[in-house]
Structure 1
Amino acid sequence: MTNLDSPLFSGAITALVTPFKNGKLDEKCFQDLLERQINLGINGVVPVGTTGESATLNDKEHWRVFELAVEVSNKRVPVIAGCGSNDTIAAIEHTEMAKKLGADGALHVAPYYNKPNQRGIIAHFNAICDAVDLPIVVYNIPGRTGIDILPATLGEIAKHKNIVALKDSAGDPSRTVLNYAACKEGFTVLSGDDNHNLGFAAYGAKGAISVLSNIMPKEAAEFQTLVKNGNFAAARALNAKIDILQRAIFTEPGLVCTKWVMAEMGLCSPEVRLPLVEISDESKKIIKDAMIKAGL
């Protein structure tokens, strides 16, 4: 187990988009996007998280993206495979495949729609960890799942050796204090919302799993280096520059706006899968203005 000064997963970690071309996975584009991430200093990647449109990728596509991510990263940065499901058996199968393909860890969201109680959440994560020996990042995002992983519950989950970190998108950076207090030494909290990264860092988070870093990996990595070094004045200045964009890309569902910005930058197609649809002209204007202010 790593200590708090040297966590297994830390810094700026990108929740990668999954590029499509004419409805199909664009493998070459994905490889190019990941290479760009690494070259611009990102500290880790999450393929096929919710930002990677995991809900509309079939298993073959899901696992192919894992494979591509592991091949391209080639151990230069950790690959945390998006394996979450509200079906515990499916979650285990994804995790088994992630390990087989060489991923460094797996991201598991709380079971959505089923809305288990806190005992069910504990049982879900214990079943995954008992089945597959791979480091696990717990993902708490009650606004999407309908359930909140409470600090006491997180503490119970984190008793398992394979539970190493939390991606926190519950909206309250101050709860980091409670999450750390509930968990074993060496446990890591990561911000799950770009507009909260500064607040989470102030409360001791060791990094962020970011959507904005698909667009601005260099700045995302620089921000995390600044806060790690205690240079909060410079971190606040950088955050102020990019804040309007990191908020604007959630004008509509985050990955839709993010892909549109990336298309404007010539990085990938804006194509998404139904039920997601292209952003409105009104949103495009808001985001274009934000891009200019962020220096893009």
Structure 2
Amino acid sequence: MSPIFEGIGVAMATPFRNNEVDYDAFRNHIEYLIDNNAQSLIINGTTGESPTLSAEEIKELLRVGVETAGGRVPVIAGTGTNSTRQSIELSVFAEETGADGVMLITPYYNKSNQRGLIAHFTAIADSINIPIVLYNVPSRTNMSIDPETVLELSRHKNIVALKDAAGDLNYTINVLNLVDSEFSLYSGNDDNLPDFTALGGKGLISVVGNVIPGEMQEVYEGMKNGESSARQRFSSLMPVISSVQIDVNPIPVKALTAELGFGEYELRLPLLPLEEDARQSIVEAFNEFRKGVRV
């Protein structure tokens, strides 16, 4: 099976205004991302503050996202929870709404062992007929999908990819050495895009892509084409990449999406905006970067 997408998929932030989802800003952000060469949109993931969205908001964001994208790029719905039943319900809704795939995080808090992971993901995969991206992010869930478990799950016809946010390229290598070449790996860490691509990754599900998708896609394409300038280009993006890592995601990146006009600088508790001096510093760094961006 060919990859759902190659290059930069954007883990979209959810814009708020007066603590309500700003759907107009969401639509405008989608248009910006597509116009700037994002290869896929990931809606209702961690960056989208999905744990604090109501069930109605989650469904409406996906409906609006699919409608606005209009088939121009794949839309992947974050439907993973720590409840297998709830994950199935959301995944079935995503398929019925027209999503091109779903992304499933490992269960958190109640966690699981590896046998439980296989049963959990398999039950969801059996309930739908669209592609599934597994999501491994031990820093948030305090558990990891073992490479051998990825291999076992990759044998299911609907489980076609892994978002690898382990932050350990040895883990990446171990998975790549086990799975079939048709199984895709996407990085979940903006700062390792060149190395991850060089190993054989198919792209990145990106946070910083919310504001510089085209520049990140250019790096991916340069790496795939063996261009010696790709790493130098990536180095020029590091000030922006580093700026969105100064606090818990999506606190910093939403300061930048707000700067671009995609919603107010609002988050939902327990997340709080940056202190003003920190917000101002990353906005200034971003604006300085934009002045020198190649067009």
TM-score by length of 2: 0.95
> Which portions of structure 1, spanning 4 or more consecutive aligned residues, are displaced by more than 6 angstroms?
none
- Per-residue CA deviations over 1:17-66 (Å, capped at 9, x if unaligned) read 11111111111110000011101111001011110010001111001111
C-alpha displacement of 1:172: 1.1
C-alpha displacement of 1:173: 2.2
In 2, distance between residues paired with 1:122 and 1:223? 35
Who is 2:65 aligned against? Answer: 69
Give the secondary structure class of the aligned counterpart of 2:201: coil
In 1, distance between residues paired with 2:192 and 2:118? 26
Give the secondary structure class of the aligned counterpart of 1:241: helix
In the TM superposition, 1:66-215 aligns within 5 A as 66-215=62-211
Structure 1: runs of 5 or more not aligned: none
The answer on 1:278 being equivalent to 2:273 is yes
In 1, distance between residues paired with 2:288 and 2:148? 41
In 2, distance between residues paired with 1:30 and 1:174? 37
C-alpha displacement of 1:209: 0.2
Q: Judging changes above 3 Å, is the alpha-carbon distance between structure 1 residues 135 and 76 closer, same or farther for their aligned structure 2 residues?
A: same
C-alpha displacement of 1:138: 0.4
Deviates more, 1:169-178 or 1:33-42: 169-178
C-alpha displacement of 1:288: 3.6
Corresponding residue to 2:242 among 221, 240, 247:
247
In 1, distance between residues paired with 2:51 and 2:262? 23
User: Aligned partner of 2:63: which letter?
Assistant: E
Who is 1:291 aligned against? Answer: 286
TM-score by length of 1: 0.94
Q: Answer whether contact 1:206 1:228 (CA < 8 A) is retained.
A: no
Q: Answer whether contact 2:189 2:204 (CA < 8 A) is retained.
A: yes
User: Aligned partner of 1:15: which letter?
Assistant: A
Q: Answer whether contact 2:25 2:261 (CA < 8 A) is retained.
A: no
Corresponding residue to 1:237 among 222, 232, 237:
232
Give the secondary structure class of the aligned counterpart of 2:250: helix
| Identical counterparts, % of pairs | 39
In 2, distance between residues paired with 1:152 and 1:275? 35
In 1, distance between residues paired with 2:133 and 2:189? 15
C-alpha displacement of 1:286: 4.1
